[in-house]
Structure 1
Amino acid sequence: MSYLVPSEFVTKMIDAGEAKVFMSTRDTIVRAYMAGAILALAAWFAISINVATGQPLIGAILFPVGFVMLILLGFDLLTGVFVLTPLAWLDGRAGVTIPGILRNWGLVFVGNLAGALTTAFFMACVTTFAFTQAPDKVGTVISNIGEGRTLGYAAHGAAGMLTLFMRGMLCNWMVSLGVVGAMISTTVPGKVIAMWMPIMLFFYMVFEHSVVNMFLFPAGLMLHAPFSILDYLIWNEIPTVLGNLVGGLAFTGLTLYATHVKTAPKRAALQRVA
């Protein structure tokens, strides 16, 4: 069958998490680098569509193109490994340790950041004719996004920080469902459809994705947006990473694992014991 039942695809999630923990440093960084670069390119693409059409929904509908490409090519996002690798540890896979998981997260973070920064530089260069003039409409919008989603949160203090964290949680609830979506079908069209839906939702709802933000905010800084690197780290990237971790693991990884792997005894079985 082209559809895998939940108990089957959750096992695939655990297998994938185990494989990522033991992946070589070179392969982990290369795959993370390409994932960051492609996802950043998709964000640039979606913003360009929004500017051209004035319709954010169209950009959200088409943004998942980048996510689909990177997943089908076997590349890794931080938001995905946040969910998959802990499941291998919870399942007791041999050799999977907390230090090994943290190593994987650190390498994927570095790779994603490097890839996103590469695309950010390309975008800044293209939209300013190699930094010889002011940014075009797309560059200006990207610059404004960086300002609004750092200083905008900071203006609300603790309430802004809580809102940012919750948007990060909601984001990886959806993005991790996209990662899972690639595992529930054995056909490319089935994988694409399953991935497309939650990714479109997160982008249109303007939730906070740590890897997308590795592109948007450094790109804004390259275009001289009026916020600092410290603003970006404190009022976006760090809380977003933490929100992504909590949201993806709590709402996707642990819930699927708890009910499809560590299932509770069925009522009939309990009655037979009684």
Structure 2
Amino acid sequence: MDPSYDPTKETVSLLLRSGVAKAKLSWTDLLLKSFLAGAFLSFGALFSLLVAGGASSLRAANPSLVTLISSFTFPTGFVILVFVNTELFTANVFVLILTTFARKTSLWDLLQNLVLSYVMNLAGCLFVAGFLCWWTDTLNTNALQSFAVTQAEARVNAQWSANFLRGVGCNWLVGLAIFLSISAQDKVSKIYAIWIPIWTFVALGYQHCIANFFLVPVGMFYGTNFGVGKFIYQSVIPVTLGDIVGGAVLDGFFIWLLYGKKIIKRNLDECSSSSRNGLPS
């Protein structure tokens, strides 16, 4: 193997290409892919909700075990949305911040992608929550409905600062899942690379703003003790801001600081060398 080969730098190069491709998406593709990402993510969240809500006696006797098992099912949606190549807001915060720092994409590209993906992720989550969960009566027992309410209230009835920091921790791990999946060579490795960080953030109780667009409305359908206003102020705003900080700073900025500048310098050196040798750059 070439001693100068650095797999981490190669992964960053692939991430930069991915960010450029995201910035070039047409509005139609971006909107549809973002809707699908929200829907796919919601399937994993619903899977987790069914497992935890249906184990009320075990939850009382051994809550850690239920948390371990139910959070293990949650990454299903992440795996699907990554393999189908959809547009998830929280992942795009990391990738497009990285490409923006590297001057591969513009600030307008960043803002356009994040705003549209956020709105359509929300639409996809509400579609699954309303039509494929509540209307289909998937949560068809008192225990499941009660747990849907309890988990939604726990997400909203928390300190603003706590929800913000839970968002930071969540998207730090989501960004790492994207980084690791890009570095993996085969599908099995990619699934493993996605699964472990996502499983970890769910088990730790961190919060994902897009997942909350499914989990909280489902609880509200069955009668939570809060309304839309409190959901927005106490959950949507702090968790979204936390997700942005986690993905943009702890992933995007730090990885650019460690590797991005070196890759840009290497590319410039290669172009300069080609020019000196009379080769097209």
- When normalised by structure 2's length, the TM-score is 0.84
Separation in structure 2 between the aligned mates of residue 239 and residue 21 of structure 1, nearest angstrom = 26
Show the counterpart of 1:140: 146
- Unaligned stretches of 5+ in structure 2? 59-65, 266-281
Deviations 1:47-100 (A, max 9, x none): 21123343121111221121111101101211001111122221122xx32122
Change (3 A) 1:138 1:126: farther
Report if the CA contact (8 A) 1:209-1:240 is conserved. Answer: yes
AA aligned opposite 2:143:
K
Show the counterpart of 2:101: 90
SS in 2 for 1:67: helix
Separation in structure 2 between the aligned mates of residue 141 and residue 91 of structure 1, nearest angstrom = 45
C-alpha displacement of 1:128: 7.4
SS in 2 for 1:194: helix
1:123 aligns with 2:133: yes
Show the counterpart of 2:278: none
1:23 aligns with 2:25: yes
Show the counterpart of 2:74: 63
AA aligned opposite 2:134:
A
Aligned residues: 251
Report if the CA contact (8 A) 1:135-1:223 is conserved. Answer: no
C-alpha displacement of 1:136: 3.3
Show the counterpart of 2:53: 51
AA aligned opposite 2:155:
R
- When normalised by structure 1's length, the TM-score is 0.86
Separation in structure 1 between the aligned mates of residue 177 and residue 148 of structure 2, nearest angstrom = 25
C-alpha displacement of 1:22: 1.8
SS in 2 for 1:182: helix
C-alpha displacement of 1:223: 2.1
AA aligned opposite 2:153:
E
Report if the CA contact (8 A) 2:101-2:253 is conserved. Answer: no
C-alpha displacement of 1:263: 4.0
Spell out the pairing of 1:235-254 with structure 2 (5 A cutoff). Answer: 235-254=234-253
Larger mean Cα displacement after TM superposition, 247-256 or 48-57: 48-57
C-alpha displacement of 1:4: 7.7
Deviations 1:191-231 (A, max 9, x none): 11111110000011110101100101122222232211011
Change (3 A) 1:213 1:39: same
Change (3 A) 1:135 1:127: farther
Identity of aligned residues (%): 27
SS in 1 for 2:135: helix
Report if the CA contact (8 A) 1:38-1:66 is conserved. Answer: yes
Report if the CA contact (8 A) 1:127-1:136 is conserved. Answer: no
Change (3 A) 1:188 1:128: closer
Report if the CA contact (8 A) 2:209-2:240 is conserved. Answer: yes
- Unaligned stretches of 5+ in structure 1? 154-159, 266-274
SS in 1 for 2:261: coil
Report if the CA contact (8 A) 2:102-2:261 is conserved. Answer: no
Report if the CA contact (8 A) 2:54-2:143 is conserved. Answer: no
AA aligned opposite 2:235:
N
Change (3 A) 1:115 1:4: farther
Spell out the pairing of 1:216-227 with structure 2 (5 A cutoff). Answer: 216-227=215-226
Show the counterpart of 1:149: 155
Show the counterpart of 1:212: 211
Aligned partner of 1:102 among 104, 111, 129 = 111
- Measured on the aligned residues, the alpha-carbon RMSD in Å equals 2.1
Deviations 1:160-179 (A, max 9, x none): 11111100000000111111
Report if the CA contact (8 A) 1:40-1:116 is conserved. Answer: yes
